[in-house]
Structure 1
Amino acid sequence: MSVLDRAAVEAAVQGYHDPFLKQDLISAGCIQALSIESGKVTLKVELGYPADGFKGGIEQLLSAKIENLPGVESAKVSVNWSVASAPVQGELEAMSGVKNIIAVASGKGGVGKSTTTVNLALAMAAEGARVGILDADIYGPSIGMMLGLPDGTRPEVKNEKFFMPIEAHGIQAMSMAFLVTEDTPVVWRGPMVSGALQQLLTQTLWNDLDYLFIDMPPGTGDIQLTLAQKVPVTGSVIVTTPQDLALIDAKKGIEMFNKVNIPVLGVVENMAIHICSECGHTEHLFGEGGGTRIADQFGVDLLGALPLSMMIREQSDEGVPTVVSESDSQIAMIYRDMAKRVAAELALKNAEQSKAPTISFSDD
């Protein structure tokens, strides 16, 4: 085929706009190889975010676009993905066994932050990624219960110093709950809590994670500052509900991450709408559009909005979160969509930070 025909193939590929990278695959640098021989086109694509449940559709779509071109006999398109390690800024050191660290935070309690963390992590794993969760809520750890791990679960200790993470539903987890019992409250001052968090982070032998989600305690206190100063956090996700009180606190969370130069990847709005189980009537019990307003104000994405659902609460309490127990449900699909948005945004920011600065010279 001629050079003009190759340009036509590239134009056809550019006609597909990736919904998560928000640009065409050529502009996003996802084309690994494109060969044209005797009317047969071979295209290899590599996405920067996990997409096991999504890549087959991309292959079919691109194949159809290319095969519709004049002179093309067949098109073989393969789509794969890989997750790059985040560049570490400043004097911080990369965490062994972890490529990217995502902090999930909220300005206040009771907005569904831990539920969001667990389901986002499981959704990322469902797309093929290797995922872990660190429960950084030292005073009120809940991740173990949400993952169905019984009270009394203890991590294996290696070399009398390191913890082996507990595995549940295909992801790795570490929590203060694995070191105390439900009946033993943690009564510590701030410095002790910060020290415990650092120990959990640095003494856990995470096994080759693409993403480590950190379930943060609510607020903007000691643990948040410790995390920002001592841990190479790649990005953060803010969880809120639509009511004004929650939004005020969510704004504080966003501003805190901005001040410590941790990118905010987006906002998750929980309890956005209530759907009556009897008649199907919908109501915005806690207000409407709050997540959109705060995302617009700070120039970040609204990753998704979730309904006020008894199912989400019951399944989390039972240790079988929605993404696992109702994997084909609409709510599980929302979580999986949000997970891809988080991962794609992270891939774009990592690529941007990895670019070397350009030095230019002039006669001025």
Structure 2
Amino acid sequence: MIAVQQAVEAPSPLSVPSNAPEHCPGTESELAGKAAACAGCANQDVCASGQTKGPDPALPFVRERMSNVKRKILVLSGKGGVGKSTFTAQLGWAFSADDRVQTGIMDVDICGPSIPTILGIASEQVHASSSGWSPVYVQDNLGVMSVGFMLPSSKDAIMWRGPKKNGLISQFLKDVDWGELDYLLVDTPPGTSDEHLSIVQYLKESGIDGAVVITTPQEVALQDVRREIDFCRKVGIRVLGVVENMSGFVCPNCKTESQIFKPSTGGAKKMAAEMGVELLGAVPLDPRIGKSADYGVSFLDEYPDSPASIAYMDIIDRIKQILGDA
């Protein structure tokens, strides 16, 4: 197994090393190489000289790897707990249901990697070969990469600042042997911070086909989602649309729907109209979704007749239409 401490290999002389000091000010800061935290850092002289402000040396390698990936889709939300990872997993399973479609899922939620559990591969490990790190495969045409595979224990916390997070994301993009992919789905943490900026930076030249933004109906979630959409516009990412998760509760027995998270301000439908983005659809809350995630099985396969599964498939079909893949 590749230990987390070794997960970010030694960088080139012009990049911030993986063992950057805990309070590293970052290479773009005026204090780079000059702050008290920089004392003793292997890259202190390089940072102080300003050489790190040049092009990231990883970019050509990322561009080469990504040249084999047809579509790159980010799954975003400013709010935590709205179902990004669950949606990413369902999207991956739906795409890979076609044996001809090669799909990859990259989990960059470094501090909360839940994708391995949701996909039923939490006990697997990452292996290295001459061509790079090998993804962990759920099935022949669905590969996954996550820091969750590198933890000594599922209880271990990852306490990294920006430089280390950026280094690992860089490696996921340039060192993972994804092969030829039709879709690369990127599951992100909440917010608009380090991980998001790193993905945009590294994929800028390769191109991001768009982002799917996940929310729940209540205003406390919509506020953060509006910021996420604003982030996408500021960095030039196309918003494919918004998905409203937990949109009502459907009883598995009687099929009656009731509102658990009441859309007091109009929900995702009104927010999407105000922000000028498409509402891709609404997925009702089904307790079996959580059960499927805990057991690492496909909800779409287990409960194909559920209103939630039907909503998922309608949304996924719409994403394909928008991308021109339908």
Distance 2:251 2:127 in 1: 45
Corresponding residue of 2:148: 177
Query: 2:223 matched to 1:254?
Result: no
Deviation (angstroms), 1:295: 1.6
Give the counterpart letter for 1:220 in structure 2: T
Find runs of 4+ consecutive structure 1 residues off by over 4 angstroms. 277-281
Distance 1:150 1:228 in 2: 27
Give the counterpart letter for 2:158 in structure 1: V
Q: Structure 2: which 5+ residue stretches go unaligned?
A: 1-59
Distance 1:305 1:136 in 2: 25
Contact 1:276 1:282 (8 Å CA) reproduced:
yes
Contact 1:194 1:223 (8 Å CA) reproduced:
yes
Give the counterpart letter for 2:181 in structure 1: L
Contact 1:227 1:233 (8 Å CA) reproduced:
no
Distance 2:169 2:246 in 1: 30
1:122 to 93, 100, 123: 93
Matches within 5 A, 1:253-332: 253-277=228-252, 280-288=255-263, 289-332=266-309
Aligned residue for 2:212, secondary structure, equals strand
**1:137-181 superposed Cα distances (whole Å, 9 cap, x missing partner):** 000101111111133x1122112x711111104411110011113
Corresponding residue of 1:163: 133
Quickly say closer, same or farther: Cα 1:104–1:209, change in 2 above 3 A: same
Query: 2:108 matched to 1:108?
Result: no
Q: Structure 1: which 5+ residue stretches go unaligned?
A: 1-90, 349-364
Deviation (angstroms), 1:330: 3.6
Deviation (angstroms), 1:280: 4.8
Quickly say closer, same or farther: Cα 1:245–1:118, change in 2 above 3 A: same
Deviation (angstroms), 1:227: 1.0
Query: Over alpha carbons, which structure has the higher Rg?
Result: 1
Query: 2:167 matched to 1:195?
Result: yes
Aligned residue for 1:132, secondary structure, equals strand
Contact 1:120 1:338 (8 Å CA) reproduced:
no
**1:87-135 superposed Cα distances (whole Å, 9 cap, x missing partner):** xxxx983614211110001111111110011001211222452211000
Matches within 5 A, 1:13-52: none
Corresponding residue of 1:22: none
Deviation (angstroms), 1:328: 4.7
State the Cα RMSD in Å: 2.1
Give the counterpart letter for 1:209 in structure 2: L
1:137 to 109, 130, 136: 109
Deviation (angstroms), 1:281: 4.2
Deviation (angstroms), 1:220: 0.7
Quickly say closer, same or farther: Cα 1:260–1:129, change in 2 above 3 A: same
1:147 to 119, 122, 145: 119
Contact 1:242 1:290 (8 Å CA) reproduced:
yes
Query: 2:217 matched to 1:242?
Result: yes
Query: 2:70 matched to 1:99?
Result: yes
